Chains A and B, each alone.
Chain A
Amino acid sequence: MSNATLTNETVHRVSFLDKASLHIPILKILQADGTTYENAVMPVIDKALAERIHDTCVFTRVLDERMLSAQRQGRISFYMTCTGEEASIIGSTAALDDGDVILAQYREHASLRYRGFTTEQFMNQMFSNEKDLGKGRQMPIHYGSKELNYQTISSPLATQIPQATGVAHAFKLQGKRNVAICYFGEGAASEGDFHAGLNMAAVLKSPTIFFCRNNGYAISTPTEEQFAGNGIASRGVGYGMHTIRVDGNDMLAVLAATQQARAHALEHNAPVLIEAMTYRLGAHSSSDDPSGYRSKEEEAKWEQHDPVKRFKLWMINKDWLNEKDDASAYEKYREEVLNAVKVAEKVPLPHIDLLITDVLDKPTPALEKQLADLKQHIKKYPKSYPKSAGRI
């Protein structure tokens, strides 16, 4: 039996490796002023792709800003932004084929938008109305769309990671030229599922892209209290897969890395790990207040690295965009989102009959009876069940 290790050097005195033994460079293509580094190798990008990326950036910024204020006004119960991480999320999604399956953590609504999720669809989910594809069963931001190959968000962290390995493996067994990409935070990378998922992908050879948004915090926990090693990238190497660390605020670097990761995954039936170094500019969620665990100075420093602005400047430098059109794109989406809020708020809620569907493929007799009893009860006390009483 062979022991598949790569050791070929022998030493004759004890010498340990440590995290500094692993030199992990960081890919940067785009500078803060919108120019590219000298000698930088560009991703495959044309004007149309750049415009689609920019459009998604603008929409996402507006959505985050508007929905956070809608949450503060009490119109929706909960919200999560991806502000500051747009380049990581959109840059990676833009490198994929629309048939590649996305398994997101929760902060990747920009990917869904990139694929074509409409403003109305976002609102229907957040207002849990009867047009919500998820039938009003999950909290706001738990989107999913079979049509757009975006699996529905599940709250328990990291569960999507081994699932992505399985999705990608299914593509391989079916002979399809597609990959699965799964997103997760550096916090979620501490879960057992992360290690299981990466190891299985590497050993079973599943064309999976593991995309870590290393954004500095998991709720209040900074990275120093999350891991002691050399970030998340070192683990990809440890599991035996192609790994890259990129500047997560650099749209072009993320795009380039993901394009090549996808090509590698398909060519070799092999997983790839991408670690995007970025920063969670906003709060963890609308229930969180980051002033309890980080400084304003730190946030201000990262605002200087705004990924959306950097990409905009690049487009302007290339003459693919001007300030005026950029500003009017924001205006257009502000209005669109506001109108969509007003419409979605008025759409009726899902019917009470949906309470027992999809538990299994068909409701069990016991569930049928529970629903019938419940309806009897609601008829007796209609005022106490205003969300369902009017429609029994």
Chain B
Amino acid sequence: MAEMNMLHAINDALSIAMQADKNMVVFGEDVGHFGGVFRATSGLQEKFGRDRCFNTPLTEQGIAGFANGLASNGMTAVAEIQFADYIFPAFDQIVNESAKFRYRSGNQFDVGGLTFRTPYGGGIAGGHYHSQSPEAYFTQTPGLKVIIPRNPEQAKGLLLAAIRDPNPIIFFEPKRLYRASVGEVPAGDYEIEIGKAEVVKSGTDITLLGWGAQMEILEKAAVMAEKEGISSEIIDLRTLSPWDIETVAASVKKTGRLLINHEAPLTGGFAGEIAATIQQECFLSLESPISRVCGLDTPYPLIHEKEYMPDELKTFEAIKASVNY
């Protein structure tokens, strides 16, 4: 075990995977010698050569299409999109191509070796072009897996699993935590199962569900609630698509209450999907309406970022409202 921040953990995962798989390449804007604008790919070019870690021209559409081509021809491709806000030029290649390669060809072709890594989320005074959480656009697309880790140890294990999963994956990295989240990370090669949520803390009165950077918020809100005598069970969904209905439903059947928190706008956000499913699965166990604490239905603001954020205070208030319903 070693202490590292999330960027180091990601870098470590990439390095281990490249070592083990000679067919793996890492690429994107500025990822070569410079190591990416956040330095997630630092040192990889020095270690593995320019053929295996390289800069691309500045074109997300090109990066995604190129990645599809590589992966369809037997390579393990790990592409970086510099900010999740800039994934949209690649949207067609991801949503219509990556996601449908296997299906449309009757499983003759697939791009299973493809992983897109991209920093997402706010809390960094980045305004609406450096703060978006676009996960729901992708969870609505059959054929993709969507993963979001909450800390360095999770990031390493989930990324290693993602790179080796035989399906195209979008791996959203909470940039707010890149340097801020530091923790013990196992040294060697390990994987965390995709599609499995984790009960991070058990409790009896309400289930708090989130992913990525918002897990911190849930933990803070749970501490506040604890002081009021409310016991929260906290679940990290980790994989949004396909998501672990079983673990969430079992928890809600136990606690009778569910609160979902995400940074993306409320309307059309992934919390809506979860709420609908859990309402179906757990109708008779629910003691209050499922609560959503999410971003507002506005673009991500700059000056009123704090107000926009589904923070611990808003979460705490929603916990109380749910328990006192």
Whether A355 and B129, one on each chain, are in contact in the complex, defined by CB atoms closer than 8 angstroms, is no
Return the contact of B61 from the options A192, A355, A356, A367 (Cβ within 8 A).
A192
**Taking CB as reference atom, which chain A residue is nearest B86?**
A156
Contact with B along A148-175 (1 / 0, CB 8 A): 0000001111000000000000000000
Our pick among A192, A218, A220 for the contact of B33 (Cβ within 8 Å) is: A220
Residue of B nearest to A188 (CB): B58
Residues of A within 8 A of B297 (CB): 359, 364, 366-367, 370
Number of A-B contacts (CB under 8 A): 128
Residue interface bits B29-61, CB-to-A below 8 A is 1, else 0: 110111001000000000000000001011111
B22 within 8 Å of A by Cβ? no
Inter-chain contact A385/B307, CB cutoff 8 Å? yes
Q: List residues of A (184-236) whose CB comes within 8 Å of B's CBs.
A: 187-188, 190-193, 218-221, 225-227
Q: Is A349 an interface residue (CB 8 A)?
A: yes
User: Would A355 and B296 count as touching, CB distance under 8 A?
Assistant: yes
A71 CB within 8 Å of chain B: no
Using C-beta atoms within 8 Å of the partner chain, give the interface range for chain A: 35 or more
Q: Report the minimal beta-carbon distance from B162 to chain A, rounded to whole angstroms.
A: 26
Contacts of A187 in B (CB 8 A): 57-58
B residues 93-139 with Cβ under 8 Å of A?
Answer: 125-130
Cα–Cα distance between A370 and B304 once the two chains are bound (Å): 14
- Output the nearest chain B residue to A290 by Cβ-Cβ distance: B34
**Which chain A residues border B59 with CB–CB below 8 Å?**
190-192
Closest to B36 in A: A220
Which of B30, B89, B267, B303 meets A191, CB within 8 Å? B89
**B306–A219 contact, CB under 8 A?**
no
A373, chain B: closest CB distance, angstroms: 9
State the main secondary structure of chain B at its contact with A.
loop
Please indicate the chain A residues that have their CB under 8 angstroms from the CB of B128 in the complex: 137-138
Q: Which residues of B contact A349 (CB under 8 A)?
A: 303
CB contacts (< 8 Å) of B130 on chain A: these are: 139, 155
- Using known A-B contacts A138-B128, A293-B34, A366-B297, determine if residue A355 contacts B304 with beta carbons closer than 8 Å: yes
Contacts of B304 in A (CB 8 A): 136, 350, 352, 354-355, 387-388
Does A142 sit within 8 A of B, measured CB to CB?
A: yes
Asked if B180 CB lies within 8 Å of chain A CBs, one says: no
| The one of B37, B86, B299, B307 that contacts A359, using a Cβ cutoff of 8 Å | B299
Does A377 have its Cβ within 8 Å of any Cβ on chain B? yes
Chain A binding site: helix, strand, loop or mixed by DSSP? Answer: loop
**Per-residue CB proximity of B304-315 to A under 8 Å, as 1/0?**
101110010110
Residue from B29, B127, B298 within 8 A of A139 (CB atoms):
B127
Task: Assess the A292–B34 pair: CB atoms within 8 A.
Answer: yes
A156 → chain B, closest Cβ, in Å?
Answer: 6
Q: Mark B59-102, 1 if CB is under 8 A from A, else 0.
A: 11110000000000000000000000110110000000000000
The docked-state distance in angstroms from the alpha carbon of A193 to that of B86 is 13
| Chain A min CB distance to B161 (Å) | 30
Query: In the assembled complex, how far is the CB of residue B104 from the closest CB belonging to chain A, in whole angstroms?
Result: 22
Q: A374 and B58: CB pair below 8 A?
A: no
The answer to whether A157 and B313 touch (CB under 8 A), given A364-B297, A366-B267, A367-B298, is no
Q: Which residues in B have their C-beta under 8 angstroms from that of A288?
A: 37
Q: Which residues of A are found within 8 Å of B32, using beta-carbon distances?
A: 221, 225
Contact indicator B57/A374 (Cβ below 8 Å): no
Q: Does B302 contact A (CB under 8 A)?
A: yes
* Bound form: Cα–Cα A359–B57 in Å: 33
Residue in B86, B303, B308 whose CB lies within 8 Å of A136: B303
Known contacts A374-B296, A378-B307, A388-B307, A139 near B86 by CB under 8 Å:
no
Q: Are B58 and A190 in contact (CB under 8 A)?
A: yes
B184 CB–A CB distance under 8 Å: no
Q: Is A121 an interface residue (CB 8 A)?
A: no
How far is it, in angstroms, between the C-alpha of A349 and the C-alpha of B86 when the chains are bound?
Answer: 28
Chain B residues near A219: list those with CB within 8 A: 29-30, 34, 37
16 contacts between A and B (CB under 8 A): A128-B302, A128-B303, A136-B301, A136-B303, A137-B301, A137-B303, A138-B128, A154-B129, A155-B130, A156-B129, A192-B62, A221-B30, A221-B34, A225-B32, A226-B58, A374-B296
Which 10 A-B residue pairs are closest in the complex by CB-CB distance?
Answer: A155-B129, A220-B34, A136-B303, A190-B57, A187-B58, A192-B61, A190-B58, A139-B127, A190-B59, A225-B55
